[in-house]
Structures are given as structure tokens and as C-alpha cells.
């Protein structure tokens, strides 16, 4: 469910859901603001998948909490 496999397609994985969510975070946003923008995306589908996707993105260090807002982490190129 986290990564695509032979039996789990990319759009059903949390990696695919994260790929939908990350481009939206070009500026820090509230949880509600993010949800309003992605709730109709087929990769997200339900609020529980939205929360799991946020957990996944935080676990892989792609997002952070800044002053109560969710922000995409800057890359260290």
C-alpha cells in the first residue's frame, strides 16, 4: 500500500498520493486547505488516505510543520 507493487498500482499507493499532494504545497498551508484541494483527487479518495499520505510524507522527510502550517521541505541540493 505504501509503494506500488505487482498488485498495487501507483494511484492506489501512498507514493502516488504523495505525488499528488506535494506540488500543492508550494507555500505553507493548513490541513484544511490541503484537504480542500486534494479531496476530489482519485489517488486520495478518502480522509483516512489523506492522513496516511501526510504521515508518509512526514516520515520520508518531505514535509514539515512550520508555525502550525504544513510546508514542503526545501531540498538540500
The residue among 10 and 76 whose pLDDT is bigger is 10
Residue 66 host element (H or E)? strand 63-66
Q: What is the reported pLDDT for 76?
A: 63
| Phi-psi domain of 64 (left: phi exceeds 0; alpha: psi -120 through 50; beta: other) | beta
This prediction has a pTM of 0.88
Q: What is the tens place of the pLDDT at every residue in 15-48?
A: 899 999 999 999 999 999 999 999 999 999 899 9
The residue among 3 and 51 whose pLDDT is bigger is 51
Q: Write out the E strands in 4-62.
A: none
Nearest to 16 by CA among 47, 48, 56: 56
Considering the chain, what percentage of its residues have pLDDT values greater than 70?
96
Amino acid at each position: 500500500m505504501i509503494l506500488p507493487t505487482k498488485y498495487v498500482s501507483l494511484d492506489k499507493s501512498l507514493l502516488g498520493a504523495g505525488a499528488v499532494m506535494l506540488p500543492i504545497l508550494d507555500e505553507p498551508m493548513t490541513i484544511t486547505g490541503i484537504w480542500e484541494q486534494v479531496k476530489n483527487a482519485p489517488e486520495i479518495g478518502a480522509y483516512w488516505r489523506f492522513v496516511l499520505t501526510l504521515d508518509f510524507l512526514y516520515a520520508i522527510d518531505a514535509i514539515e510543520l512550520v508555525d502550525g502550517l504544513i510546508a514542503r521541505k526545501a531540498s538540500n541540493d
